[in-house]
Amino acid sequence: MMDKICYIVGAGEDCGLDFAPQQGDLVIAADGGYEKLQRAGICPNLVIGDFDSLGAAPKEKQVITLPTVKDVTDTWAAIEHARKLGYGRFHLYGCTGGRFDHTLANIQTAAALAEQGMECLIFDKTQIITALSGGTMEFEQSCEGFVSVFSYTEESRVTLQGLRYELEDTILTNRFPLGVSNEFTGRRAVVTVYDGIAVLVYGRKNTYAH
């Protein structure tokens, strides 16, 4: 299951659901994300949440109702459920905008998954947010616009190649945004994180190799 994708749709800003689940993929509606999936004509495999956003649990076959008083977000609970099923790649929609605290919580989630070697992409209206730890992301030559790399941990040791502003084995800190607003140049770009956790933000139309 590690190569299959778990799509999680939350109750945040409607950013457009431009994905088409393939066989073996999992689609989870986190609370109010159920309405977005309905409008897009995508049937979730599971609906999970305390349903403070949706108002009430929908009449679906697979519904998990969470208590309103809990230590995790509905999105985190959805990820935990999917991980038990063997999924290690997560694409999150409707998980930004609205309440900033939930956006920040989802970035923390991406960082936690990256530290464990898993993929978590958060799709905003125009951007993708992800985290990288002890690994590499390669971007296609066709990528355009900006890409920013921030240290999520106190320090991150990184190399940036093929971008307008290249860095070689450089320490980024979470106290100064040195990696903001870098640019794609029409060359293959590579971001490598040796130590720490880095958060990447880039245009939604751009794609990465792996």
pLDDT of 2 higher than 80 = no
Contact residues for 108 (Cβ-Cβ < 8 A; gap 6+): none
Tokens 């002890």 label which residue? 134
Q: Spell out where the chain has E strands.
A: 5-9, 26-30, 46-49, 63-65, 89-93, 119-123, 127-139, 146-151, 155-161, 167-173, 182-183, 189-203
Which DSSP string do the residues of 33-93 spell out, in sequence order? HHHHHHHHT---SEEEE--TTTSS--S-SSEEEPPSS-SS-HHHHHHHHHHHTT--EEEEE
Share of residues in the chain with pLDDT > 70 (%): 98
| pLDDT, tens only, 41-84 | 999 999 999 988 888 888 877 999 998 888 899 999 999 999 99
Type of residue numbered 56: A
CA-to-CA distance for 80 and 57, rounded, in angstroms? 20
pLDDT of 210 higher than 60 = no
Cβ(28)–Cβ(6) below 8 Å: yes
Please give the mean pLDDT across all residues of the chain: 94
Report the CATH number of the 132-203 domain.
2.60.120.320
Token pair, residue 24, equals 């073996």
Architecture in CATH of 5-125: 3-Layer(aba) Sandwich (3.40)
- Domain boundary assignment for the chain: 5-125, 132-203
So what's the pLDDT on residue 10? 95
| This prediction's pTM | 0.94
| pLDDT, tens only, 9-48 | 999 999 999 999 999 999 999 999 999 999 999 999 999 9
